[in-house]
Amino acid sequence: MTSDIERVYRDESRRVLATLIRLLGDFDLAEEALQEAFAAALVQWEHDGVPANPRAWLISTGRFKAIDQLRRRARYDASVAALVHEMDGASWPVTPIDGDGVEDDRLRLIFTCCHPALAADARIALTLREVCGLDTEAIAHAFLVPPPTLAQRIVRAKGKIRDARIPYQVPSRADLPDRLDAVLHVIYLVFNEGYSASSGDSLTRPDLSAEAIRLARLLVDLLPESEAIGLLALMLLHEARRDARQSSSGDLVLLDEQDRTLWDRELIDEGCALVQRALALGPPGPYALQAAIAAVHGEAPRADATDWEEIVGLYDLLMEAAPSPVIELNRAAAIAMRDGEEAGLTLLDAILERGDLADYHLAHSARGALCRRLGKNAEAITSYRRALALATQEPERRFLQRNIGELEALSS
């Protein structure tokens, strides 16, 4: 029985919570109601067995528990009394508690947690807490912040949702592109934190990436927009290479040196199919294009069999859709592969000269690699040193130090 309830908790608790938030209009009250509903289930299901529709049972039990709770509070607080009356009356709308209604609630929850009126770091924390159900400790650990700081962020965000009345709704068609962008951004940040942790001695935190992929799958199920599909494809294609991008000693292995037999073929196939699906839905956005680039890499059996012509073409489209110095840098690296190192270096130096990427360690590291391939060892050492001064992640620092060491050995 306990394992049955555990299974229901795992499968249903986030859905039940999303609906309770809509019914009760309050995150904290809904969370309490969720816990109480499961506590009640533990007792009652022991005798009566798991009901036919456990989700509906939990939602209605949670709602009653919350109303009880409010009634108890109302004895001390007149302002709550009016609310109880409002919720208790026959006027309470009869809401569907399974089928479409519930899935809409999950989408409402995602859009509310990722609302642009919330602070950026709070959006991430709130989404992982409420939508994914991670506990505060785990989120704090993943983002290397003290748990009280993270808890504070969540409390503030919930406070703003309540006080500024951020609505619990899926945005209208007109607002959707912008708001969806904010959601995708949160998911991608979570993934990247798991894929390429911004600091610390381990290269990746797979749990966070898995959570981001789960979220994106949910979003694609609920709202199959091109960019949502593109983001899911992009993350799967990156995830497929996870085992290959780190050596057994924990060092960084670049794409062209990776052992491609370590790539997860299933993920690559799924990613490539999703790219096709995203591209078929209309002019591709930045996520679909980045996924398409990752798909071209994924389909190349060897590094020297990469279709660089195709990749440069996709970067050109990406520069039109979402121009940025980092995209320009990646395009320069692709040009270096298609037209030779000199051509790439000329472009890269022009970008660095503008100063946009002066503090970006990967720009200097890329320059070091191009100079090294051209035999300009002294210049390569200078660029790698500049990168080393800016890099914070241990495996990346070791990678740079190794290159500097090898080049110094050559020139001495």
Partner 1 sequence: MKYLCLIYDQEAKWATMSKAESDAIYAEYGAFTNSIKESGHYIGGNPLQPTHTGTTVRVRNGKISTTDGPFAETKEQLGGYYLIEAKDLNEALQIGSRIPSARSGSIEVRPVQAM
Q: Which is nearer to partner 1, 53 or 169 (CB)?
A: 169
Distance CA 87, CA 136 (A): 30
Q: Which is nearer to partner 1, 179 or 386 (CB)?
A: 179
Q: Applying CB under 8 A, does 171 fall inside the site for partner 1?
A: yes
Bridge partners of 96?
none
Instruction: Identify the burial level of 244 via C-beta atoms within 10 angstroms of its C-beta, where 0-12 means exposed, 13-18 middle and 19 or more buried.
Output: middle
Distance CA 55, CA 10 (A): 12
Distance CA 102, CA 10 (A): 16
CA 125 to chain centre: 11
CB 352 within 8 Å of CB 363: yes
Closest approach, Cβ 105 to partner 1, in A, equals 17
Tell me, by CB under 8 A, how many residues bind partner 1.
9
Closest approach, Cβ 111 to partner 1, in A, equals 10
Q: Applying CB under 8 A, does 169 fall inside the site for partner 1?
A: yes
Closest approach, Cβ 127 to partner 1, in A, equals 18
Q: Applying CB under 8 A, does 86 fall inside the site for partner 1?
A: no
Q: Which is nearer to partner 1, 72 or 162 (CB)?
A: 162
Closest approach, Cβ 115 to partner 1, in A, equals 8
3-state secondary structure 306-363: CCHHHHHHHHHHHHHHCCCHHHHHHHHHHHHHHHCHHHHHHHHHHHHHHCCCCCCHHH
- Interface with partner 1 (CB under 8 A), residue from 164, 322, 326, 410: 164
Q: Which is nearer to partner 1, 105 or 193 (CB)?
A: 105
Binding mask 89-108 for partner 1 (x = CB under 8 A): --------------------
- Interface with partner 1 (CB under 8 A), residue from 49, 101, 159, 167: 167
Distance CA 356, CA 363 (A): 10
The secondary structure of 210-224 as a DSSP string is HHHHHHHHHHHHH--
Closest approach, Cβ 42 to partner 1, in A, equals 37
Closest approach, Cβ 175 to partner 1, in A, equals 8
The secondary structure of 154-193 as a DSSP string is HHHHHHHHHHTT---SPPPTTTHHHHHHHHHHHHHHHHHH
- Provide the 3-class DSSP secondary structure of residue 235: helix
CA 397 to chain centre: 25
- Interface with partner 1 (CB under 8 A), residue from 163, 173, 353, 411: 163
Binding mask 105-134 for partner 1 (x = CB under 8 A): ------------x-----------------
Q: Which is nearer to partner 1, 164 or 280 (CB)?
A: 164
CB 224 within 8 Å of CB 240: no
Q: Which is nearer to partner 1, 175 or 257 (CB)?
A: 175
Site stretch for partner 1 (CB under 8 A), options 98-106, 161-169, 205-213, 371-379: 161-169
Q: What is the DSSP letter of 99?
A: T
Closest approach, Cβ 178 to partner 1, in A, equals 11
Q: Which residues bind partner 1 (CB under 8 A)?
A: 117, 163-167, 169, 171, 175
